[in-house]
Amino acid sequence: MINYDEGDKMSQTNAFYAQSGGVTAVINASACGVIETARRYPAEIGTVYAGRNGILGALHEDLIDTGEETAEAIRALRHTPAGAFGSARYKLKGLEENRAEYQRLIEVFRAHQIGYFFYNGGGDSQDTAHKVSQMGAAMDYPLICIGIPKTVDNDLPLTDCCPGFGSAAKYLATSLREAALDVASMAKTSTKVFIMEVMGRHAGWLTAACGLAGDGPGEAPHLLLFPELPFVAEDFLKRVQETVETRGYCVIAVSEGIKTPDGKFLAESGLRDAFGHAQLGGVAPHLAQLVRDRLGYKYHWAVADYLQRAARHLASRTDVRQAYAVGQAAVKLALRGRNAVMPTIQRLSDEPYRWRVSSVSLAAVANQERALPRHFITADGYGITAEARRYLEPLIAGEDYPPYHKGVPAYVRLQLISVARKLPAFTG
Amino acid sequence: MINYDEGDKMSQTNAFYAQSGGVTAVINASACGVIETARRYPAEIGTVYAGRNGILGALHEDLIDTGEETAEAIRALRHTPAGAFGSARYKLKGLEENRAEYQRLIEVFRAHQIGYFFYNGGGDSQDTAHKVSQMGAAMDYPLICIGIPKTVDNDLPLTDCCPGFGSAAKYLATSLREAALDVASMAKTSTKVFIMEVMGRHAGWLTAACGLAGDGPGEAPHLLLFPELPFVAEDFLKRVQETVETRGYCVIAVSEGIKTPDGKFLAESGLRDAFGHAQLGGVAPHLAQLVRDRLGYKYHWAVADYLQRAARHLASRTDVRQAYAVGQAAVKLALRGRNAVMPTIQRLSDEPYRWRVSSVSLAAVANQERALPRHFITADGYGITAEARRYLEPLIAGEDYPPYHKGVPAYVRLQLISVARKLPAFTG
């Protein structure tokens, strides 16, 4: 409880929660963890406001009153993908460059008696939360800032994994396993090469997860193409041919971010449309074309795109629980007065898999990326090691199905009722 | 029971089962229905042989002995996608053009005392089964031929629906619903247009199913592009812009088979790679490019490809039951001496949804396609009608989850033990 009044009278402290960056199948489970936990401490936390479209909601004082939502609706966030309050790709500039934005945030927080700021996002967002906490101190405004980890890219440091990753990983491993069975069925007379493109421009975590689609010698997937390693077309083609000749077919997962040896994204390597414009189309069709031109095999390719990060119908139970847990922990950390920290997942053992929530300071997290370790990739560069499996398998374990209505998942739509504005419009 | 011997001694009649054409999430459920039912009639049916790689297995006398598989393994076919015995894209020519192939089939059947032929496929396969039955009669060989319906395209005539369609439809409706929530979250600062490409080159059944992703005015999906209607770029762009301006974002499902007003596939309309080769890439990236060039919106696109027809993890319970039921019915029809027929799904009522298995003659099925009725598409050409929903909703109803192991579905791998050959190699 923080005192905002000049006199002795205590007033209630409110909280602000915002979603940031690319959404996931379980970011709403974190929101659920925050709101449900806050509701259990009515003496300490008044209302949880959510930013409409993330941090923009704070800048433009467009606050959603989550107190207007029923317990059932908040509970249903746990099984609803994407960002229920709207997210934003909006990075606040440095404190020096754009002090006005940070000041505005503090003004909005002050106007609505917000003493807790929960920012649910990736590396940039953790950095922003850290800067907001610094600005609060500089403006002598009592504010507790907690970052809540979220990213399908799994690239945040100091946490064993990132909520959102496990579900995307489970979806990709399952989808590739299914498509591989399809290709195996067709290979004798039809498709011999199947290529699935995977998100993760800078880190190959999701590409590695595709390796969980199969196990054992010769089983699909046969080739994984990681963004960490240069794509050498001749070597790739040789291996595709070898695989088709020995196995009858070849299943490939490729990161959207693979680069040629000279460091260029393969996706930008020269396709042109009828008007001569560079085509930004995916890597998968590009590779498929290469396979056809050079080896003559019939191919199919898939680009799951948003499907892979929104597939709540196939979420990992581990991931859902961890997403909820970091939301819950964020509130508890805040109530213990911890400022400028982020709850993390700490792995206690692989088998049986055991984990707990810990925390780190935002200063330690900010602007660091965790790369896929080279020893998770096999020596030849096209597969994952036993160590990678030991790390990955627990993260995709368990199912957590949403309820269905008329054959499709019954995802919740919140009322999203705005709070009356108290300040003039932001012109920053 | 059919007598093959010249004397009085009765011998057992075997059966031959083959999978044909593109596989589905539930074609193995039909195989399960055939094999489990046959095993319940040991006095009438000896062994069920399966063709390795479909009809090629018969031509080349590569028969798999399903009797070597355990009851557990056969049971697991019910939850395993794709074609467990291998399928083939191989259309037998007309009886006049290639009599040798049909004769060879009969010779192989005779050599292995096969009196029942079950052919699990789409329209072409039903036609083949019909011709094989004619050849059996012409060669005075006692053979009962039963077609078993299968196609994600839902285009077989005289059946209310086709096993395989409901699960693909459920997957697409669910995936698009999830991706739409994702886009809605991001639209304020990022992606405004999302395009998902859907299978079904000639008929818009799967495109129509995408309409089940949402309901109510203004809800996603906002535009469905059917192969039955010409694609008029200017009208499409106008509607995309209107939707983004009124709703904030636009979600589109497009059939891979849409054509320009002059009848050309849009997918073949002029993309070139760096070497000037025509690019066979999908329709979705092509449309995305068009939207960007003309309207300037940030876009994302997805091509699920094989994922949509192999997604057993999200099968429709209705579809699984019907797939099993037509396999079971095929055996029962055969044992009743019905020849040259195909079991069908007959709808008895919409609400509550009730159905039963019926049958039609293969002669009536052969080489007919059932088109999507125009009254299933809204007058403006971009949505589905209430009547379409009434038809489609029961087909995607219910879930039927596979078991999981280490976070991915535990799909069965059969032993696939070949039977010793009795004939010289086929040189036809």
Q: Which residue has the tokens 């291998």?
A: B86
Query: pLDDT tens across B33-77, in order?
Result: 999 999 999 999 999 999 999 999 999 999 999 999 999 999 999
B98: phi then psi, degrees, rounded to nearest 5: -140, 65
Map residue A378 onto helix, strand or coil: coil
Q: How confident is the model at residue B11 (pLDDT cuts 50, 70, 90)?
A: low
Across the interface, whether the CB atoms of B281 and A285 are under 8 A apart is answered: yes
> Testing the interface with A: which of B52, B92, B178, B271 to mutate, by most A Cβ within 10 A?
B178
> CA dihedral in degrees (B187, B193, B196, B200; nearest 10)?
150
Q: Give ∠ CA B243-B294-B266 in degrees, rounded to 5.
A: 90
Q: How confident is the model at residue B9 (pLDDT cuts 50, 70, 90)?
A: very low
Minimum distance, in Å, between the CA of residue A151 and any CA atom of chain B: 14
Q: Across residues A350-379, what is the average pLDDT?
A: 94
B234, HSE (Cβ side, Cα atoms, 13 Å) = 1
Across the interface, whether the CB atoms of A408 and B306 are under 8 A apart is answered: no
Minimum distance, in Å, between the CA of residue A11 and any CA atom of chain B: 33
Q: How confident is the model at residue B276 (pLDDT cuts 50, 70, 90)?
A: low
- State chain B's mean pLDDT as an integer: 93
With contact defined as beta carbons under 8 Å apart, do B38 and B7 qualify?
no
Q: Across residues A209-234, what is the average pLDDT?
A: 95
Task: Considering only the beta carbons, identify the residue of A304, A401, A408 that sits closest to B177.
Answer: A408
Across the interface, whether the CB atoms of B182 and A275 are under 8 A apart is answered: no
pLDDT-wise least confident of A268-272, B64-68, B326-330, B400-404:
A268-272
With contact defined as beta carbons under 8 Å apart, do B95 and B106 qualify?
no
With beta carbons under 8 A apart, name residues in chain B contacting A301: 303, 305
Active-site residue among A153, A155, A319, A400?
Answer: A153
Domain ranges of chain A: 13-150+315-367+400-409, 165-312
Is B308 a known ligand-binding residue?
yes
Task: Considering only the beta carbons, identify the residue of B81, B271, B311 that sits closest to A274.
Answer: B271
Query: pLDDT tens across B335-369, in order?
Result: 999 999 999 999 999 999 999 999 999 999 977 88
Query: pLDDT tens across A100-110, in order?
Result: 999 999 999 99
Across the interface, whether the CB atoms of A397 and B408 are under 8 A apart is answered: no
A344 pLDDT above the threshold of 90 = yes
Is A22 a known ligand-binding residue?
yes
A427 pLDDT above the threshold of 90 = no
Query: pLDDT tens across A112-130, in order?
Result: 999 999 999 999 999 999 9
Query: pLDDT tens across A389-403, in order?
Result: 999 999 999 999 999
A271 pLDDT above the threshold of 60 = no
pLDDT given for residue A2 in this prediction: 47
With beta carbons under 8 A apart, name residues in chain B contacting A271: 271-274, 279
Residue B153 a catalytic site member: yes
Chain B nearest-CA residue for A19: B185
B295 pLDDT above the threshold of 70 = yes
Minimum distance, in Å, between the CA of residue A259 and any CA atom of chain B: 17
Q: How many angstroms separate the CA atoms of B369 and B314, rounded? A: 27
A290, HSE (Cβ side, Cα atoms, 13 Å) = 21
Across the interface, whether the CB atoms of B87 and A179 are under 8 A apart is answered: no
The residues that bridge with A343 in the sheet, in sequence order, are A359
Report pTM: 0.96
Minimum distance, in Å, between the CA of residue B10 and any CA atom of chain A: 37
Is A128 a known ligand-binding residue?
no
Which residue, among A103, A76, A12, has the nearest Cα to A49 in the 3D structure? Answer: A12
With beta carbons under 8 A apart, name residues in chain A contacting B274: 269-272
pLDDT given for residue A270 in this prediction: 52
- CATH number for the domain formed by residue range(s) B13-150+315-367+400-409: 3.40.50.450
Give the distance, in angstroms, between the CA of residue A406 and the centroid of all CA atoms in the same chain.
29
Asked whether the domain spanning B165-312 has the same topology as the one spanning B13-150+315-367+400-409, the reply is: yes
Across the interface, whether the CB atoms of A304 and B304 are under 8 A apart is answered: yes
Q: Which residue has the tokens 């083939």?
A: B88
B247 pLDDT above the threshold of 90 = yes
pLDDT given for residue A233 in this prediction: 96
With beta carbons under 8 A apart, name residues in chain B contacting A408: 170, 173-174, 177, 212-213, 396
Locate B180 and state its tokens: 């739409």
Is A164 a known ligand-binding residue?
no
With beta carbons under 8 A apart, name residues in chain B contacting A188: 53, 56, 86, 88
> Testing the interface with A: which of B90, B305, B392 to mutate, by most A Cβ within 10 A?
B305
Chain A nearest-CA residue for B91: A189
pLDDT given for residue A3 in this prediction: 44
Query: pLDDT tens across B117-162, in order?
Result: 999 999 999 999 999 999 999 999 999 999 999 999 999 999 999 9
pLDDT given for residue B369 in this prediction: 86
Map residue B352 onto helix, strand or coil: coil
Chain A nearest-CA residue for B190: A89
Q: Which amino acid is at A107?
A: E
pLDDT given for residue B68 in this prediction: 98
Topology classification of domain A165-312: Rossmann fold (3.40.50)
The residues, any chain, with a CB within 8 Å of residue A323's CB and separated by 6 or more, are A24, A26, A27, A29, A30, A33, A150, A163, A164
Q: Across residues A217-245, what is the average pLDDT?
A: 96
The residues, any chain, with a CB within 8 Å of residue B360's CB and separated by 6 or more, are B158, B159, B341, B342, B344
Across the interface, whether the CB atoms of B189 and A293 are under 8 A apart is answered: no
> Testing the interface with B: which of A59, A124, A161, A178 to mutate, by most B Cβ within 10 A?
A178
Is A151 a known ligand-binding residue?
yes
pLDDT-wise least confident of A34-48, A374-388, B89-103, B298-312:
B89-103
Map residue B393 onto helix, strand or coil: helix
Q: How confident is the model at residue B3 (pLDDT cuts 50, 70, 90)?
A: very low
Query: pLDDT tens across A124-177, in order?
Result: 999 999 999 999 999 999 999 999 999 999 999 999 999 999 999 999 999 999
Minimum distance, in Å, between the CA of residue A5 and any CA atom of chain B: 36
| Cα-only R_g, chain B | 23
Q: How many angstroms separate the CA atoms of B291 and B295, rounded? A: 5
The widest CA-to-CA distance across chain B, in whole angstroms, is 83
Query: pLDDT tens across A251-270, in order?
Result: 999 999 999 999 888 877 55
Active-site residue among B62, B65, B140, B153?
Answer: B153
Q: How confident is the model at residue B95 (pLDDT cuts 50, 70, 90)?
A: confident
Between A and B, how many CB-CB pairs are < 8 A? 239
State what percent of residues in chain B have pLDDT above 70. Answer: 94
The length of chain A in residues reads 428
With beta carbons under 8 A apart, name residues in chain B contacting A396: 406-408
With beta carbons under 8 A apart, name residues in chain A contacting B196: 307
Peptide bond before B221: cis, by omega within 30 degrees of 0?
A: yes
Angle between helices A317-335 and A27-39 (to 10 degrees): 40
Q: How many angstroms separate the CA atoms of A304 and B302, rounded? A: 5
Task: Considering only the beta carbons, identify the residue of A82, A190, A196 that sits closest to B184.
Answer: A82
A58 pLDDT above the threshold of 50 = yes
A25 pLDDT above the threshold of 70 = yes
Is A201 a known ligand-binding residue?
yes
Across the interface, whether the CB atoms of A174 and B303 are under 8 A apart is answered: no
B321 pLDDT above the threshold of 70 = yes
Q: Which residue has the higher pLDDT, B75 or A368?
A: B75
Task: Choose the most confident range, by mean pLDDT, from A4-13, A254-263, A365-374.
Answer: A254-263
B6 pLDDT above the threshold of 60 = no
Task: Considering only the beta carbons, identify the residue of B174, B188, B310 that sits closest to A178.
Answer: B310
Across the interface, whether the CB atoms of B177 and A289 are under 8 A apart is answered: no
Which residue, among A112, A26, A126, has the nearest Cα to A327 in the 3D structure? Answer: A26
With beta carbons under 8 A apart, name residues in chain B contacting A307: 175, 178-179, 196, 302, 304
Minimum distance, in Å, between the CA of residue B295 and any CA atom of chain A: 15
Minimum distance, in Å, between the CA of residue A406 and any CA atom of chain B: 6
For residue A350, count other CB atoms closer than 10 A to its CB: 13
pLDDT given for residue B281 in this prediction: 60
Q: How many angstroms separate the CA atoms of B101 and A27, rounded? A: 58
